[in-house]
Amino acid sequence: MSAESKKKIRVTINNQETVLQEEMTILKLLEDREAKHRSAVWLNGIQLLQAEYPTRMIREGDVIKILRIVAGG
């Protein structure tokens, strides 16, 4: 199946409605947003473990919150 023929889904990311390709993982989303490293992710109000990012699929209607962790002092 080509990328053009994949179904689109609507999700909310950081309070903004967004359209994504179906069958996208959290890790792919972070890579696409250049936020792969040092990001905390909540999916539908539940914080995910980084080990879940490669396998957790994003579904229609999901609410995702992404926070980039920044070191400082």
- Taking only the tens place, the pLDDT of each residue in 3-54 is 556 799 999 999 999 999 998 999 999 999 887 678 999 999 999 999 999 9
User: Whole-prediction pTM value?
Assistant: 0.84
Class in CATH terms, 3-68 = alpha beta
Query: Distance (Å, rounded) from C-alpha 67 to C-alpha 35?
Result: 9
Tell me the chain's radius of gyration from C-alpha atoms: 13
Query: Distance (Å, rounded) from C-alpha 46 to C-alpha 37?
Result: 19
Query: Distance (Å, rounded) from C-alpha 21 to C-alpha 8?
Result: 5
List the chain domain ranges. 3-68
